[in-house]
Chains A and B, each alone.
Chain A
Amino acid sequence: GQQLNQSPQSMFIQEGEDVSMNCTSSSIFNTWLWYKQDPGEGPVLLIALYKAGELTSNGRLTAQFGITRKDSFLNISASIPSDVGIYFCAGRITVRTGANNLFFGTGTRLTVIP
């Protein structure tokens, strides 16, 4: 499968701080997605990006689709304890019919210290 490099692998931050994480690939993607996984739960979609250069916000979250289509970043402003979890990026490419087209990064584990 495609390789998505997500960084950092883990972060420990103080409540109220801003957070930034990113995802890079050697392949071009048509869509970038960001998911969050709460402890003991399945991943939940946070933001979807469909166009190179697109900047999209969802509350305190902002994500951008890199202009080269090979990267994306996610920012969280003014972090709160419930932001704790694992954040996954995912990239989608157009492939021949029937082939797998969605690939996940390895995740960024976020810990927020009250």
Chain B
Amino acid sequence: EAQVTQNPRYLITVTGKKLTVTCSQNMNHEYMSWYRQDPGLGLRQIYYSMNVEVTDKGDVPEGYKVSRKEKRNFPLILESPSPNQTSLYFCASSLYRAGELFFGEGSRLTVL
């Protein structure tokens, strides 16, 4: 089954404790992206990757890092989480940059 898998789905952590949200897709998609969803603000792009070893900032990249060492994986790293990073995070992929996005089920992160 074609899917985008994120882990963990739910996480409560404390300020400053590094964490990684993993994302994996099994569709051989070139393009992958991370979004955060906040009430009233819709989906805002954090980082995206057009292919292996190619990443770029989206609209709200501050406080986040990503890497794309393999085509299927695109982890989101919060080196020192802060409460304003409490949000619902979505990973998405598409065959190419201009293609339609497939989304993961989301990861709800709370930073205390």
**Which positions in A face B, CB cutoff 8 Å?**
1, 4, 6, 9, 31, 33, 35, 40-45, 48, 88, 92, 98-102, 104-107
Q: Number of contacts between A and B (CB, 8 Å)?
A: 55
Task: Using C-beta atoms within 8 Å of the partner chain, give the interface range for chain B.
Answer: 20 to 34
Bits for B9-24, please: 1 = Cβ < 8 Å to A, else 0. 0000000000000000
Q: Which residues of B (35-61) have their CB < 8 Å from a CB of A?
A: 35, 40-45, 48, 50, 54, 56, 58-59
Contact A45 B101 (CB under 8 A): yes
Residues of B within 8 A of A (CB): 4, 35, 40-45, 48, 50, 54, 56, 58-59, 90, 92, 97-98, 100-106
Task: Given A98-B50, A100-B56, A100-B59, check contact A43 B43 (CB 8 Å).
Answer: yes
Q: How far is the CB of A48 from chain B (nearest CB, A)?
A: 6
Q: Is the CB of B105 within 8 A of A42?
A: yes
Residues in chain A near residue B92, CB distance under 8 A: 42
Q: B42 to A107, Cβ gap below 8 A?
A: yes
Q: For residue A42, which residue of chain B has the nearest CB?
A: B103
Query: What is the CA–CA distance of A105 and B43 in the complex, to the nearest angstrom?
Result: 7
Asked if B45 and A43 make an inter-chain contact with CB atoms under 8 angstroms apart, the answer reads no
Further pairs besides A1-B58, A43-B43, A104-B43: 14, Cβ < 8 Å: A1-B45, A40-B106, A42-B104, A42-B105, A43-B90, A45-B100, A98-B56, A100-B45, A100-B56, A104-B35, A104-B44, A105-B42, A106-B41, A106-B42
A52: shortest Cβ distance to chain B, in Å? Answer: 17
Q: In the assembly, what is the distance between CA of A88 and CA of B30, in Å?
A: 24
Cα A44 to Cα B90 with chains together (Å) = 12
Give the CA-CA distance A35 to B43 in the complex, in Å.
11
